[in-house]
Amino acid sequence: ATDRGRIIYAHSDDSLRTEVNASERMRIHSNGHVGIGTTASTADLELETTEKASGTNLASGGICLRNSGTVSNGDVLPITGRFVSSAEPRAGIGFITETQDGIAGYGGAIGFYTLGSADGAQLTSSHERVRIDKSGNVLIGMTSTSGNGLRLYYNNNGGSILFRQSYGNGYG
């Protein structure tokens, strides 16, 4: 009989290995590094794959973070960085749901978040500093194309990059 799946503790290098379909798929090293798709991870978490997006379908390979719950416009699926073990995260990248064709979650944006205080405050959506919205606008200091902040976007008609700083309802 062939082993199709198993979990192995290897005394030779003090690693814990997971095999699926008779091949090693994940290894936890004695230093705490986790390798998925690799037996020699050099980072805390290393993912190695031969899968990649083919053609124009970016969902066909790579890494996917998925929320299987109900979403509303503006919900964020975050990846955050904690620099001191007992502190709250100070920086993050968030995948933001936007409404497209009247349905929340069918449009997407990427937000970049930072917080520079030692007061124990939590990193929240109010700490968003930069957003790339579903239309490709780069918004600095703003979360929509209206309001105060700096907006960068490509003007397809003139072939130039435009910088606009908005002041209320007008632009300066």
pLDDT tens digits, 49-98: 777 766 667 766 677 777 778 888 888 888 888 777 666 788 899 999 88
Residue 21, amino acid: N
User: Does the reported pTM lie above 0.85?
Assistant: no
**Could you give the CA distance from residue 118 to residue 75 in angstroms, rounded to a whole number?**
26
Counting every residue written for the chain, the total comes to 172
Task: Tell me what pLDDT residue 101 has.
Answer: 83
**Could you give the CA distance from residue 5 to residue 3 in angstroms, rounded to a whole number?**
6
Task: Tell me what pLDDT residue 125 has.
Answer: 86
50 or 141, which is more confident? 141
The span from the first CA to the last CA of the chain, in angstroms, equals 74
100-111 average pLDDT score:
84
**Could you give the CA distance from residue 37 to residue 19 in angstroms, rounded to a whole number?**
11
165 or 64, which is more confident? 64
**Could you give the CA distance from residue 77 to residue 65 in angstroms, rounded to a whole number?**
8
Q: What CA–CA distances, in Å, run from 17 to 13, 34, 38?
A: 11, 10, 11
Task: Tell me what pLDDT residue 14 has.
Answer: 95
115 or 56, which is more confident? 115
Instruction: Answer for the pair 113, 92: CB distance below 8 angstroms, yes or no.
Output: yes
Kindly report, residue by residue over 8-38, the tens digit of the pLDDT.
999 999 999 999 988 899 999 999 999 998 8
Residue 159 above 70 pLDDT? no
**Could you give the percent of the chain with pLDDT greater than 90?**
23
Write the secondary structure of the chain as one string of H (helix), E (strand) and C (coil).
CCCCEEEEEECCCCEEEEEECCEEEEEECCCCCEEECCCCCCCCEEECCCCCCECCEHHHCCCCCCCCCCCCCCCEEEEEECCCCCCCCCEEEEEEEEEECCEEEEEEEEEEEECCCCCCCCCCHHHEEEEECCCCCEEECCCCCCCCEEEEEEECCCCEEEEEEEECCEEC
